[in-house]
Amino acid sequence: MLSSKGKPTDTGASGQPVLNNTPANWEQGREQVFQLIDSLLSFEACLYHQILPLGLEDNQLLLGMVHPQDSGALDYVNRIVSYINCTTVTEEMALDTHRIILSAYLNYKNTFRPNTKQVDHPGADSHLENNKTIIDEQLIQSATISFESNQQPTSMLEYSEQVDIPNLDSLSPSTVNEKQAEDISEAAFPNNLTVLQVQVPEQFSPMEILATLPPKKLLQELLGRVLGGGIGRLYLERQPYEGRILWSDNGVLQSILENLPLSVFQGVLNELKRFASLPVSKLAEPKQIEKECLYQQNRLLLRLRVMPGIYGEEATLQVLRGAALKFYQQQQLTRLSRDALGISQQLSFKLHELQQRLLLNPVMKSEQLEAVVTLNQLVTNLDQQIKILSATSEPPANS
């Protein structure tokens, strides 16, 4: 429940506001929650930021947050709802509640999932149907992480991914790269982008064969799949005695490799680190790498995140292209412009303070005052230019 100020009024035993009665009250709005996850805040965005869209009414999005203090998550959501002229009202929710609702959503999607293209081999669909809990609560528990990100837009409700934004463009599957490289490598490109050269097999191996491949070959097969589609994602999940790898395309789970020996799982993770030029040694804290590049004449962004999980290191690799990439670039421009403007304003304040001090100085030299005046003029002009850049990078007031 919300107070008149939009703050949660329910409290847990700790005295902190916690939305712990959601499962009972949520049933009535179940369909709307699922629709909002499908169209506004994607499942992966909800999983990534530990958030949930609980309702949309009177141009207000009721947002459940496990960590209400997560400014990165809130900034991401505010950017999205600004495109549909809505505001956000937050309410803290328990982590268990977050998992319960996401699990219910996954069960719903696995039960009523629309027909998708067949992947890899005729048995792929039956393999997925036999794994209706492919992303279960254990995955949710290990993957729910908070990290500042600059991600996706929604120009209208039809846009749905932060990162996995389905149906943003008519993204036709890329043709298989016929050029075979001896290793996964990157070559310099004149316009400061790199051409991503990945050794991709002419024909993908059946899913049941992948687990038998050496880690390097296995990663090449996985990269070929995730790079050849739309908005692709790999998730490497470590379990107590084995690992598994999930591949999704445009927010739809395509296939899953289960029961991977930890030696194979760790080998693939190490190869992924090498691919991103990260140290192979175990990382003490989460590390995220983002790199824009060209692949088969298409611009795309690779976002790799390696993080400690419950049972050890895990990783996600995400591929953005099309409208998702354009929005990412716009967000980067907005962030850099905002930072530059802040620095410029701080410099202007310091120069003004310096000028006042110099005026009080009886031994001030005329050239010193002239220098400060000139600098102030430069900073004023700099402010104006940065504001112009900022205005062009902000989302429109009305859409």
Residues pairing with 313 in the sheet? 308
Could you tell me the pTM of the whole model?
A: 0.49
CB 224 within 8 A of CB 204: yes
Q: Which CATH architecture has domain 185-320?
A: 2-Layer Sandwich (3.30)
* Amino acid occupying residue 388: I
Which residue positions in the chain have pLDDT lower than 70?
1-28, 109-192, 200, 389-399
Q: From its phi and psi, is residue 15 left (phi > 0), alpha (psi between -120 and 50) or beta?
A: left
Q: Give strand pairing partners of 92.
A: 65
Q: Where are the domains of the chain?
A: 22-143, 185-320, 327-393
> What is the tens place of the pLDDT at every residue in 319-378?
888 877 887 777 788 788 878 878 877 887 887 787 777 777 777 777 877 887 887 788
- The CA distances from residue 329 to 26, 151, 324, 396, in Å, are 36, 9, 9, 16
Question: If you search the block for the tokens 């005026």, which residue do you land on?
Answer: 359
Rounded distance between C-alpha atoms, residue 216 and residue 183, angstroms: 9
Q: What pLDDT digit, counting tens, does each position of 297-331 carry?
A: 888 888 899 988 888 999 999 888 887 788 777 77
What was the pLDDT predicted at 261? 93
Contact 119, 250 (CB under 8 A): no
359-to-291, 354, 367, 372 alpha-carbon distances in Å: 49, 9, 12, 11
- Specify the pLDDT at position 260: 92
- For residue 288, what are the CA distances in angstroms to 18, 58, 250? 30, 37, 21
The helix (H) or strand (E) run that includes residue 298 is: strand 298-308
